[in-house]
A and B are shown apart, each in its own frame.
Chain A
């Protein structure tokens, strides 16, 4: 009898646990990042009269470590950024120089795009820097999704007032993120699509960031050749590798 009670308790807690908004976000994040990852990303800035493309190689591990190296265009080729916990460095091969960046740089637009440095190297902070609330269910296309509100914790340097995340119930795919400012105005909408198997994970491989004020402009981020859960030591994320990788 005790055994059955224990099983039931375990079952109930499991169900509750699986549906806690924190757990939804955590699973969705793990699904997108893996424990570690390596791949190529292309960023396209789209404006009514022009577009620009930047290609980069990226390495990431958990929420703490990331390294981004620009491979095109020629003008910026070889430039790199290393992030370790709260520290951020920039490598400029033309002047043979590593420059330590102030933390305030995290909130700046990345190369004139609709993404901030923080969006690019610190995406996983959504697991650590927020409190969570389950707002309900919504249908997006053929996907039944949870709608979760992420409210930044007070002590964190998050720029948003609130984020609304839409996560698919079946596979924890991140579908839509809506970013609101502190006055509750919608600032940016991120739409994820092109769900594909990449490495050992099935993930959305295209993200579009659309500013609410200028709906005719956007920034598209496309993942290619990504591998997940690879061997990457913490020591890989070093200044010497920032200078050496190519």
Chain B
């Protein structure tokens, strides 16, 4: 087993190497300069940071290295890719009531994908936000992308709060699929982006009681057709968290609701959203998802969800290529989807889980077994796989090995 000290040295070196190659590629840009300084600064401050109350500035984050092997049915060789991924979160507390957050995601891609897929950099540089806060640079064998996915100020009063800037507006209460997540939906399979994208938006929240209140949010847009703006009312009754929402999302009138509670010892959650298209050439949509979850005294955890998506065109195959900032109506490519997940700690430091995703009425199925092992504090090693089986197209097997150091 490696000692923590030697590992720290390794991480420092990795971060420094990362910094230097990053600097090489970005040195001609002002952004690159700023990013490099921030990177270098945090490489040291983050590791030297002490745990102290009431700090004005908190810095944390992680650095990950992930190797991906892609195998395809009837193809002899595997594609190998490597991704070094660094995230730095700054939390700023200038006064008791004002909070600022800035979060930066830096990724360096190398391997077969970069070398063989034309336009790899363009594929990555999908930006659905109002401001373009990302920077993608392509070398011969490397693509580097830096992106600010949170940058907002928040004013906190006891009964209300106001947030302005790039933030995540997460209205979902369900597990697996969130039809209520109209501001920034995400792909269920994009496990390497747990923070998920943000939106350039203004959000006002008013709190009533301990789990209730109302809120309004507007996502910036150039035109009425692009605008997403909605309000939500939340309350708690009979041990259930309840919510209703209404507004517009990209030229659709939207009405939705959700609940989160339990039946006996088992969790019971659900969400539904109706999209009434304001453009007569486009169709309406209804999405709903229901989840039940339960854990046992031996720590085995089970969770099952179904999703109905009337908007989906029932495309053959699994079609999960897009992991960018999705429109919530495109969270599935089939009308019906079902999801089962189980997880079990084999050992306090070793956790196993199995995900099965299938599509009633379709031939595709996805198995996602994974293992997480934590050899030392703040270090995780993950072995994750996504095995796609489909009668209508060749099977594909993706295996990921990922090392993550949190600081």
Contact = CB atoms under 8 A, between A and B. Distances in A.
Given A100-B241, A239-B210, A73 B377 contact: yes
Contacts of B209: 235, 238
Interface string A54-86: 010000000000000001111101000000101
B168 A96 contact: yes
Contacts, number: 103
Interface in A80-136: 84, 86-87, 89, 94-105, 107-109, 112-113
A97 B241 contact: no
B173 A102 contact: no
Main secondary structure of the interface of A (DSSP, over half): mixed
B262 A94 contact: no
Interface residues of B, number: 47
Interface string A13-52: 0000000000000000000000000000000010100101
A84 B299 CA distance: 22
B92 interface: no
A2 B345 CA distance: 67
A244 interface: yes
Interface in B138-181: 156, 161, 167-168, 170, 172-173, 175
B210 A53 contact: no
A108 B299 contact: yes
Interface string B290-322: 000111110101000000000000000000000
B175 to A, nearest CB: 7
B299 A71 contact: no
A239 B296 CA distance: 26
Contacts of B210: 84, 234-235, 237-239
Given A75-B380, A94-B194, A239-B211, A104 B51 contact: no
B159 to A, nearest CB: 9
A8 interface: no
Contacts of B269: 100
A73 B406 contact: yes
Given A74-B406, A104-B266, A97 B172 contact: yes
Interface residues of A, number: 43
A195 to B, nearest CB: 26
Given A50-B349, A102-B266, A107 B406 contact: no
A101 B378 contact: no
A104 B296 contact: yes
A232 interface: no
A104 B296 CA distance: 7
B262 A112 contact: no
A53 B377 contact: yes
Contacts of A97: 170, 172
Given A72-B51, A77-B60, A235-B210, A86 B349 contact: no
A85 to B, nearest CB: 8
Contact of A71 (B51, B62, B293): B51
A100 B345 CA distance: 21
Contacts of B205: 240
A108 B156 contact: no
B108 interface: no
A240 to B, nearest CB: 5
A74 B60 contact: yes
A75 B260 contact: no
Contacts of B241: 100
Given A50-B349, A238-B207, A102 B377 contact: no
Contacts of B156: 244
A9 interface: no
Interface in B353-407: 377-378, 380, 406-407
A98 B212 CA distance: 13
A104 B299 CA distance: 10
Given A47-B348, A97-B170, A159 B297 contact: yes
Contacts of B267: 100-102, 104
Contact of B173 (A71, A74, A100): A100
B175 A75 contact: no
A145 B117 CA distance: 75
Contact of B195 (A77, A95, A109): A95
Contacts of B293: 102
Given A52-B348, A52-B377, A71-B51, A238 B211 contact: yes
Interface in B49-106: 51, 58, 60, 62, 93
A157 interface: yes
Contacts of A52: 348-349, 377
A99 B173 CA distance: 7
B196 interface: yes
B348 A94 contact: no
Contacts of A47: 348
Q: Which of A72, A102, A159 has the most CB of B within 10 A?
A: A102
Contacts of B223: none
7 contacts: A50-B349, A52-B377, A95-B194, A100-B261, A102-B293, A238-B211, A240-B161
Interface of A: 45, 47, 50, 52-53, 55, 71-75, 77, 84, 86-87, 89, 94-105, 107-109, 112-113, 157, 159, 234-235, 237-240, 244, 246
Report the 10 A-B pairs with minimum CB-CB distance, sorted nearest first: A112-B348, A102-B267, A238-B210, A104-B265, A75-B406, A100-B260, A96-B168, A74-B406, A107-B297, A96-B170
Interface of B: 51, 58, 60, 62, 93, 156, 161, 167-168, 170, 172-173, 175, 194-196, 205, 207, 209-211, 213, 239, 241, 260-262, 264-267, 269, 293-297, 299, 301, 345, 348-349, 377-378, 380, 406-407
